[in-house]
Copies of this chain bind each other. A is one copy, B any other.
Amino acid sequence: MRISGLSKRTGVSVATLKFYLREGLLPAGQPTAANQAEYGDEHVHRVSLIRVLRDVAGLDLRTIHRVIDAIGDERVGRHELLGVVQGTLPRPPIAPDPDGEVTRARADVDAFLARLGWEVRLEAPARGTLAGALAALRRIGREVPAEAFSPYADAADRMARWEVLAVPASGSRSAQVEGLVVGTLVYGVVFDALRRLAHEHHSRCARAEDKP
């Protein structure tokens, strides 16, 4: 199909498709004439993948580039890919730490993860995310220990165990790693949305019980 057909199939404007092509996010089509190229199902798939990462996971274009490159790079193993996915976490900008709260929180988070017995790299970006969150809670006056994260760690542990088992060991490498990336990012958003709906449901129940 021509680029206009690709636009029709995906619902993405021709201008945006041309931008993806220029940015190298979308591989070039098969040239058919000067300024014309033919696109196939793999292009439809790639555009859909870009839209998942952008519209559902909320990643910026630079991060999408990094993720797509890692999916396509045969040298990146399944385990290493998890590091790339972790790198897509929103990370607090490196801010001054006038009161030393971030440094203190980081030490607490590292000790907490060690007590859990989790084998995770010291440079795992998620450690910084947790330290930033803990420091932020303390700065608004919630003097919580890292142990406040325990119920969340238990839930995360259970979820991750069956998620890792659910990744099919068969199929092409790129299908597997794409499944891993999309699964982590999209089901993260799905869980967050379900948690907020469950808040609404349980808060309604709690309110109903308050009434005489």
Stretch at the interface among A25-33, A51-59, A62-70: A51-59
Q: Would you call A199 and B163 a contact (CB within 8 A)?
A: yes
A128–B141 CA distance with the chains assembled, in angstroms: 34
CB contact between A95 and one of B11, B83, B165, B203 (< 8 Å): that residue: B11
A69–B83 CA distance with the chains assembled, in angstroms: 38
Q: Would you call A136 and B79 a contact (CB within 8 A)?
A: no
Q: Which residues of the partner chain B approach A89 to less than 8 Å between Cβ atoms?
A: 192-193, 196
Q: Nearest chain-B residue to A78 (Cβ)?
A: B203
Question: In chain A between 163 and 195, which residues have their CB closer than 8 angstroms to a CB of chain B?
Answer: 163-165, 178-179, 182, 184, 186-195
Q: Would you call B197 and A51 a contact (CB within 8 A)?
A: no
Contact with B along A40-81 (1 / 0, CB 8 A): 000001001101100110100000000000000000001100
Q: Which residues of the partner chain B approach A83 to less than 8 Å between Cβ atoms?
A: 200
DSSP class of A's interface residues: helix, strand, loop or mixed?
helix
Q: Given A126-B197, A202-B164, A137 and B186 touching (CB < 8 A)? A: yes
Q: Would you call B48 and A139 a contact (CB within 8 A)?
A: yes
Q: Would you call B9 and A201 a contact (CB within 8 A)?
A: no
A13–B182 CA distance with the chains assembled, in angstroms: 38
> Within 8 Å of chain B (Cβ to Cβ): is A212?
no
Q: Report the minimal beta-carbon distance from A4 to chain B, rounded to whole angstroms.
A: 13
Q: Would you call A206 and B93 a contact (CB within 8 A)?
A: no
Q: Would you call B201 and A160 a contact (CB within 8 A)?
A: yes
A204–B119 CA distance with the chains assembled, in angstroms: 8
> Within 8 Å of chain B (Cβ to Cβ): is A120?
yes
